[in-house]
Structure 1
Amino acid sequence: MASFNSNYVYITYNGQFLQEAALQLPVTNRAFQYNDGFFETLVVEQGKVRFLAEHWERMQEAASILGLEVPKDLTIDKLEETIQALVLKNECASLARIKLKVWRTGEGLYTPQTDAVDWLLTAHGMESPSLITMAVGICQTVQTLLSRFSTFKGPNSLLYVMASREKKKRQLEDLVLLTASGHVAELTYSNIFWLKDNILYTPSLDTGCLNGVMRRHLLKKAVGKWTVKEGVYAPQALHLADLVFASNVMGLRPIESIEGKPLTLQLPLLEEMRALAFG
């Protein structure tokens, strides 16, 4: 294997390191042809992978739902070791965005030839994400749809692509996605939570929202400390809340207004939530 050069960006393909420019995939690739797989977005900070256990949990769920056979040697420890080696190779171990893509290998049409998988890791340095308040709108062009695939990233991504186009066109920082019946589901790249009278609320998975890694983490950490309610809620619930915030693996971000209408911002509550998430 050729020696590594820090002037290049490296990836890991099926456990092997190579330069990003060297990767070649056939046009018959099932991820390209049929979106036959899933992906995870992870964060590395100071060499440590955030919330790896929750990512691994969602990976196993996605693989089971899609009938994918993850290699036996791709364990949670191996994944962590490989990510840490990759960020060192790319000189971005202080803060990096990691993408893990897993897809069914082989060719074929709709009927797969095999359930074995290929997997790919990429790592790129990133700036600290903004955690300041944001103004959002209500998405008008697309709605969430509950399915077996809606809880993980992959087959449902077009929903977020189209919502993000609307967000960009309207020059908003994010959009609240609703169900077909008009209930709150999530944001374009985050789950949504709110606090009211010491109760932590979030939409249930029945809304078709992503079962995000930070969502999983917060709900686990909140047990015994907060009353938690997952359910189906109208957008008006957000206007009655003491605090509304977005959550994803990057962190928690407060929402100050929806469609120009200000929300209550009890920021000390947000600090409690951040302490819960990262404490």
Structure 2
Amino acid sequence: MNEIETIFQKSPSGKTWFRLQNSELPNRAMNFGDGLFETMVWENGQVRFFERHIQRLRGGMQILGLDSEAIDISELLEFLTVNYPNDRKRVRWNVYRAGSGKYTPETNDVFQILQLTEFTEAPIIKAKADVSDKVQLFPTLWSSFKTLNALPYILANQERKERRLDEIILLDYRGFVSEAGASNVFWEKDEVIYTPSLSCSCINGVSRQVILEHLDRNSMPYLEGEFKLSELQGASRVFVSNCSGVSYLGGFGSSKFSTIPLQFLKLIFD
């Protein structure tokens, strides 16, 4: 089953999800990137870390002025349970503004699209990484949310591919470490875990939230802040996380890191 065969839509007036044959064109997702998305894992009859995904999605909808009442959590879970009871799926949930118009929106109603594909875990090791030469991130009201405005990440990953890297690290406009091409970044030094704060324009990743909560709950030392690239280069271990799991960086430029998995991360994502 390919991605086209597993795309479903729910319109503002729709009572249920239906197989998408033709999308209304033009739409505000295409014309303006006027929307948000969540990428989630469906397994064992539930969405992993679902409450955190919902919380982030609703926060982004509030910023964009979208009608959060359009999000029916129980209906979505029922749909996945009925159609994919024993499957393990990667679920991309797009929520974008209905209506047409130009820059000024005509409505706060939303269209919703589900794109379901087979779930693939993140590779355990990404051997070669480096910093982006082309892309810097800037703070906005929506920096921490996953919006349909993804050009910085498209350009960064295009650069990663051209440079034959396994991962690329992005800095903010001040030169502080922000995140990876499609993941949050962490590193370990002297048994302390470090990660950029949201002030560095990184996405407030759900996996990031879960990792920090685990560290806090178990009194494990960590620092969330603004760090120059030299801090990461001097680490003993570097890892990146997103909904697909955790990957360890084998090297960054001339720096080499340990790729021995951290046990607490296996407990979180297994």
- Is the TM-score greater than 0.5? yes
* CA–CA distance in structure 2, aligned partners of residues 134 and 94 of structure 1: 30
Give the aligned partner of residue 187 of structure 1.
180
Give the aligned partner of residue 49 of structure 1.
47
Q: Return closer, same or farther for 1:160/1:266 CA change in 2, 3 Å cut-off.
A: closer
Q: 1:155-170 residue pairs with structure 2 within 5 A?
A: 155-170=148-163
Deviation track 1:71-111 (CA, whole Å, cap 9, x = no partner) reads 35x333333223333435xxxx5321111010111111111
1:249 corresponds to which letter in structure 2? C
Match of 1:248 among 217, 234, 242: 242
Alignment pair present for 1:272 and 2:264:
yes
Alignment pair present for 1:12 and 2:3:
no
Match of 1:69 among 67, 70, 87: 67
Deviation track 1:156-204 (CA, whole Å, cap 9, x = no partner) reads 4100000011011011111000112211100001000112223221001
SS at match of 1:143: strand
Alignment pair present for 1:232 and 2:226:
yes
- Tell me, which stretches of 5 or more residues in structure 1 are unaligned? none
SS at match of 2:95: strand
Q: 1:48-197 residue pairs with structure 2 within 5 A?
A: 48-72=46-70, 74-87=71-84, 93-197=86-190
Match of 2:201 among 208, 213, 222: 208
2:113 corresponds to which letter in structure 1? L
Deviation track 1:226-251 (CA, whole Å, cap 9, x = no partner) reads 12211110111112222110011111
* CA–CA distance in structure 2, aligned partners of residues 179 and 129 of structure 1: 25
Deviation track 1:111-161 (CA, whole Å, cap 9, x = no partner) reads 111111111112111333322243111100110111111111115410000
2:82 corresponds to which letter in structure 1? A
2:101 corresponds to which letter in structure 1? G
**Matched-pair contact (CA < 8 Å) for 2:146–2:203:** yes
**Matched-pair contact (CA < 8 Å) for 1:192–1:203:** yes
Q: Return closer, same or farther for 1:135/1:85 CA change in 2, 3 Å cut-off.
A: farther
- Tell me, which stretches of 5 or more residues in structure 2 are unaligned? none
Q: Return closer, same or farther for 1:262/1:85 CA change in 2, 3 Å cut-off.
A: farther
CA RMSD of aligned residues (A): 2.2
- Runs of 4 or more above 6 Å deviation: none
